[in-house]
Chain A
Amino acid sequence: MKIFVKELWTALSSTVVLCCVLCGVYPVIVWGLGQLLFSHQANGSLVQVNGQIVGSELIGQGFSGAKYFHPRPSDAGTGYDGGNSGASNLGPTSQKLIDGIKANLVAYRQENGLPESAVVPADAVTASGSGLDPHISVENARLQIARVAKVRSLSEEVIRSAVERAIDRPFLGIGGEAGVNVLKLNLELETLAQKKP
């Protein structure tokens, strides 16, 4: 019994001490250093236009208008819901999955004026794991250039160079995959539109 009481004290007191260090001091040190050295990232990499937060560089956003580049389909809440990250979680033999992809394919081809037989990039018709994927593949972006250029009455060349600038490239040329940041790209298109005489 004596040994149990002693051990119980040790268990309780060590919980208190270690929690103070590991769950108090530690996150506060990281908070201090993070705010000091990388305050933009530490606060969510927010994008502001005229002082108004319009999103985060890292979080995808829904776009459906013809003048914008479109992100991937999303299963986060009702689509790109920042408070409800999530995926379809449909397996490879799911009727619902195949039906969804079929519908996405028809819509994608129609929007971008592609023939019915056109092969479409996989990311364009599938939902991401987070539902907040900020990127689309470079191929997917290229297929949307003609539509965006036409609606905005800009040359395809101008749009293409904007796409090139919005590519996040793999580090050291091999780590991860290249992707086009849709929010950044669409915001740049808006500034291009304003500059236009």
Chain B
Amino acid sequence: MNQSGWLQLILYVVLLVLITKPLGLYLYQVLDVNGRTFLDPVIRPIENITYRFIRIDARKEQGWILYTASMLLFSAVTAIFTYVLLRYQNLLPLNPQNMPAVVDHLAFNTAFSFTTNTNWQSYSGESTMSYLSQMLALVCHNFFSAAIGIAIAAAVVRGIVRHSSQTIGNFWVDLVRINLYLLLPICIIYAVFLVAQGIPQNFKPYDTAKVVEAQTVQVPKKDDAGNPVKDAKGNVIMVDQKVDTQSIVQGPIASQIAIKMLGTNGGGYTNANAAHPFENPTPLSNLIQMLSIFAIPSALTYYFGRMTKNQKHGWTVWGTMAILFVAGTLVCWAAESGGNPMVQHLGVDASGGNMEGKEVRFGIFNSALFATITTDASCGAVNAMHDSFTPLGGFVPLFNIQLGEIVFGGVGSGLYGMILFIVLAVFIAGLMVGRTPEYFGKKIESYDVKMASIAILLMAFSILGFSGWAALTPWGQAGVNNNGPHGLSEIFYAYSSCTGNNGSAFAGLTANPSNNDPHYDITLAFATLIGRYGIIIPVMALAGSLGRKKLVATGAGTFPVTGPLFIILLIGTILLVGALTFLPALTLTPILEHFLMLNGKLF
């Protein structure tokens, strides 16, 4: 844990604070149909034409049920759209590498994974997807799922702010405005910056380089049918092969990376995601990518404060998130710079930390910081392989996801997820003082707490249920890349990541095996659906219920939702729920592995 790391951490937090207010104020205008922004002269005409074409009346609001139904319908239409594009990509244009059609269960998994903002990838981008699939079938969801998250958050905040109201906004208006005013303009500037840093943006086929020094590598010997040949003992026979070329991946990469980070999607263009030099070429591109993950979630807390006319509450929520974020970063950073004692025992420089699966240009600190940020948020892009982290270094991303990704969180989903915990915290505080709990002048009643609990419990059932199932079945066990507790961690991480709509992985897990066993693809796809709509629907019901309530006067007994006391209560609630739910399973996975590593046990 060197000085340069501390300076970079401070720099990051300062930059995050600096963008929170301006972007929050901008969001305040974007999320109001009558809001004004400096982009109005350019975008307003396009916005109005769009409303006419899609036949909606922008002034007419929807109740929570219709709002949610519109969102679900739009999600269904776009999921099918992506599924069809992937299944027929071989017949469609912009496929210079002649990629074949994506197989059914993989297309199913990918369509839902991207629709739900998870962006779990059972495939390897550069060898599976055509340019059209990347820039249309996948990128459209990077925009849509991000916009939906923000729209739901805005609707929930409206529910909290309004009283005696039957409506909470118009989904289509939110969808259009968020895309046109927020995501698109930022992405254009951001993507051009990324090109300047070295990310390609073109439509030419992959280049083939003639390498400087040809290499001889060992590959399995194959018979005429393409199956590996084995010797009498059953070992695969290896033969020498000369490699004198290197394929250089090309395509519209920069435009995809910009929205992948800003929209906390995280679905990479290549298999190695943000560790690939073409997705994240420099330390500066890395810093900006990390900042862009938290930018909108952080600004949404400011928007929340502004809407509730209680900016202190907004900053209290921000502070809660910031404390959990810094704590996670420090644990992860300490574990990774401490490294693996078994490796150091062999004579590897201990000051280098755990470099397996990490890039030199990022080093230990930026890999640990990125891993914490990407899992605090529901991003899931990775610039280092979490699978090769030390046990405690890998514990942090895993636990971050299991806390519900409410530490800044996904765009929108972080805020509405945090609001669930706020409702729960207010409820617990109310029980402690023996008074009906209130939140912004609304009584929190049994229905509201039930909705919050359903959302939180569904997530736990999905993660633990699917993980347990996979761990006990042959198809589940066949997918792991590591033996011992680390193998179980891989399964546990996969279902946590998909349920949490994160998308990062302990990537050794083979979810899309060569024998085409569809179990992982299908179960993981269902986990993404439960994690997305199993939270959105109850949270919207809660918003509708809060919006309908009448205001009660604030009295001396009202529990204040600002300041250090509330931060402590909120952090306590979050950690308690997370720990009670997942600690038993975590004990069998990273925690057990930590002690085994210290004792020099190998699998």
Contacts and interface: CB of A to CB of B under 8 A. Distances in A.
Contact of A175 (B56, B172, B276, B283): B283
A190 B202 contact: no
A129 B202 contact: no
Interface string A1-41: 00000111111111101110111101101110111011001
B167 interface: no
A25 to B, nearest CB: 9
B88 interface: no
B53 interface: yes
Given A53-B207, A101-B346, A183-B212, A22 B202 contact: no
B349 A119 contact: yes
Nearest to A114: B347
A123 to B, nearest CB: 5
A139 B352 CA distance: 10
Interface in A115-144: 117-123, 125-137, 139
Contacts of B385: 87-89, 129
A53 B7 CA distance: 40
A65 interface: yes
B209 A54 contact: yes
Interface residues of B, number: 133
A30 B139 CA distance: 14
A13 B248 contact: no
Given A9-B55, A122-B348, A93 B596 contact: yes
B355 to A, nearest CB: 4
Contacts of B187: 26
B211 A55 contact: yes
Contact of A45 (B76, B136, B139, B198): B198
A83 B206 contact: yes
Given A22-B143, A87-B275, A91-B486, A176 B198 contact: no
Contact of A12 (B77, B209, B272): B77
Contacts of A101: 343, 346, 348, 356
B166 interface: no
B36 interface: no
B197 interface: yes
Contacts of B597: 92-93
Given A37-B192, A128-B358, A65 B276 contact: no
Contacts of B603: 93-95
B249 A133 contact: no
B215 to A, nearest CB: 4
B209 A56 contact: yes
Contacts of A19: 136, 140
Interface of A: 6-15, 17-19, 21-24, 26-27, 29-31, 33-35, 37-38, 41-47, 52-65, 68, 72, 76, 78-95, 97-98, 101-102, 105, 117-123, 125-137, 139, 168, 170-171, 174-177, 179, 183, 186-187, 190
17 contacts: A22-B183, A30-B201, A43-B204, A53-B207, A53-B208, A53-B209, A58-B278, A59-B278, A82-B246, A90-B388, A93-B597, A122-B353, A123-B352, A129-B275, A130-B275, A170-B283, A176-B361
Given A27-B201, A129-B275, 16 more contacts: A6-B55, A13-B54, A26-B188, A29-B188, A44-B200, A44-B207, A60-B277, A82-B249, A87-B385, A89-B385, A93-B484, A98-B343, A119-B348, A121-B352, A122-B349, A179-B360
Return the 10 tightest CB-CB contacts between A and B, nearest first. Answer: A176-B283, A122-B352, A89-B508, A129-B275, A177-B363, A91-B486, A85-B272, A130-B272, A34-B195, A135-B360
Interface of B: 4, 7-8, 11, 46, 50, 53-56, 69-70, 73-74, 76-78, 81, 124, 126-127, 135-136, 139-140, 143-144, 172, 175-176, 179-180, 183-184, 187-188, 191-192, 195-204, 206-213, 215, 217-219, 241, 243, 246-250, 252, 254-256, 258, 270-272, 275-278, 281-284, 286-287, 339-340, 342-343, 346-349, 352-363, 366-367, 382-385, 387-391, 394, 481-486, 489, 506-508, 593, 596-597, 601-603
